[in-house]
A and B are shown apart, each in its own frame.
Chain A
């Protein structure tokens, strides 16, 4: 399927949490692959399980979580690695791009953040080299007057500047894969645009792969090569961005796209029943909200390949083509 070397390979990932009300299945068998230099977006509404995937990839799930399946990163089994091995990987090969600037310690300067990360993974570097590289990084990511910012505390910077610092921190050790959990969620439109442009630029210049989690389909459309639509812990549709978002087949994807303000079409509210979480049916989880799910027979959750770059999990897939205009 892919000619590029595969950086991240997630196979049948299942995650459950134990809650006072019983076990809750957050992910019910998710699989995807990310190639070198590619961006894979995971899109879906709140509670679909997107953040759980992020945490699973970096092996930072809560202690009470039970996991099945595999996560292979550069041929290493992430879920089996111990703390020391993970610490080695973090920042150097696999990083997280945090959503909020609260990820910065208010009592440390920006420079201290950068230098501690660099020193931890590149111990041979001398202090001056570390400093120079840090300042250079800040400049690369669009922060002018990098010297002053190097000496500044997070408190002294504006929201946009802190965002850039976070990006610089994420990429400072040249990682192979960056996991970004809703990077534009907390940003106003101007900052969001700047962030998207920065990420696009990084994508073309650095060849770093990215797993991008978002609820915003426009972000997925701009940045991602491939996208997966997640619903209640399972993919409903997956494939190349163009095809999934512009030639969507699954009713859920259609609903999401129709519901976007840009499309000026309101979602069909009468069909839009609140999704209920947690019940572990093995059939199609979307059935009770789907206008084609009104028959009493349970629909199976089965994959249909539309072509090499497009898979959908819906038994009405073939006949969907006839509903294009709806």
Chain B
């Protein structure tokens, strides 16, 4: 596929490499402070400069990929799987089950997910586990809706009706007929949703409610950067560029997959 030569795909692959490689790929120790070398602009020794504790920004950024991207990806996968399951059950079994599940889905969908997440974090406390819980609680709804409508359209297709009439079991039909039909559109929606998840999780950390120091995380690094915007702007600029490029790459990938799928 000519998809592989696109710049955004290569960028995402780079991100995956960084996430997997982690600290091993960094030139310096991201947690190592150099009190005498604080807030330095980019130089040969420290490619992106140092932060207020003298830590190497470049290394911190590299390590932050695993943290931030990993967090967003985990939440997304949970949402995808949960949403797909709920959507499949609703779509396949129909009737009262469908009605009730969709009621719940619609209600949660109408809520402002970020504000809900904020409030819940405020009540439960910060931390990675709570973050995952809080965002997964409201994030699955779009995938459930999509899965349900896909299942409904497949369910009434001739080959599925025939399969049911010939007595094939529900689980088998779900696995062999329905799953392949919903897999690709879900992946497309998931890719498009990845950008949103990154934005939301980093916003939460930015407000100080998510991942905190000293773990290198995009949102947390941005908060830091805001404090020093006047004296050392590079603290905020570089992480921000990384976030923008990441979200943009996922969005572009999602759009390309959507066109491919249609």
A and B touch in the complex (CB under 8 A): no
Residues of B within 8 A of A (CB): none
